[in-house]
Structure 1
């Protein structure tokens, strides 16, 4: 397990976009199959985020946690970007994101094995809620913006974690077939791993828990919490947890 607190991370140029500074959430060397950063446009000299097109090699994905702005693609298409809005682009798609106010973005980069100008996914959270991509995973809801069929190699979700009587002793989970980052952005959450020998808790500003060794772990919510999750490889779509004894395990992709 790797634990990274956003407030403790320095503000550095994002490797894929050196003109933009951000805080490292998932480093390329963490062994997760992707990297992730938090960027605030409209502050610290970050005026424009621009990536994609010739010379780029990574799928690039963005979730707007706060603020608003716009995204313009190389073909001239303009996309309004409010809070709780997701965008996913192939490396072949060039985008330019600008903010109309201070805008907090969660940015994910993954290897693009099949660049395509047609691989574009944009949707607000409201278009996911209530659909088959809104999965009751067992102790909250997993709103899944990307699945395996979207061909990005990873899944990005916004997931709620509820406090329930059955979660007093923790929610036992074990991703044998996926590397998962759970980036908590609010709430009150503690993770335990190595059979309870190791423990870390959420800190204001954001905390990432990375199951880089497919670590069996327990999530102990002390109040309703919210996290952005990235899974590698991507989820098929209908995975959910069963807590009928032991650690819940997601099945392997078929």
Structure 2
């Protein structure tokens, strides 16, 4: 069994802050934990507006607090995000995330991340090796 607290993990290198200043992510479960997915608590800072395109990962997201929206680039459709909203990027959807207020999100990635990833120029996480 693996037991961790968010408060303890935030004091370690499991907390990653984006170089662009849009978010921070505490990775509670990583590839090295051998669960087949990674689990993160991510804070999207108020006013953040940025594109992502996870070409190498599938992501599931649940909003715990805050408000914003996600826009799918392919069709320009916008979806409101509020506490209780979940979205699933099941087709490697290219998207734009906007935070109207600070948002706390629970995120699952498959395949799991190693822990140091930040978005590349295309808005994706690279695969290890």
Common topology (TM > 0.5): yes
1:81-120 pair list within 5 angstroms: 120=1
Unpaired stretches in structure 1, ≥5 consecutive residues: 1-119
1:209 pairs, out of 83, 87, 95, with 87
Deviation at 1:196, TM superposition (A): 5.2
TM-score if structure 2 supplies the norm length?
0.90
1:229-240 pair list within 5 angstroms: 229-240=107-118
Say whether residues 1:157 and 2:40 are aligned partners: yes
Question: What does residue 29 of structure 2 align with?
Answer: 146
Larger RCO: 1 or 2 (CA < 8 Å, sep 6+)? 2
Say whether residues 1:134 and 2:15 are aligned partners: yes
For 1:203 and 1:162, the matched residues in 2 are separated by 14
The number of equivalent residue pairs is: 127
For 1:253 and 1:180, the matched residues in 2 are separated by 17
The structure carrying a bigger strand percent of its residues is 1
Say whether residues 1:218 and 2:122 are aligned partners: no
Deviations 1:96-121 (A, max 9, x none): xxxxxxxxxxxxxxxxxxxxxxxx21
Deviation at 1:253, TM superposition (A): 2.4
Runs of at least 4 residues off by over 6 Å: none
For 1:141 and 1:184, the matched residues in 2 are separated by 15
For 1:209 and 1:148, the matched residues in 2 are separated by 22
TM-score if structure 1 supplies the norm length?
0.48
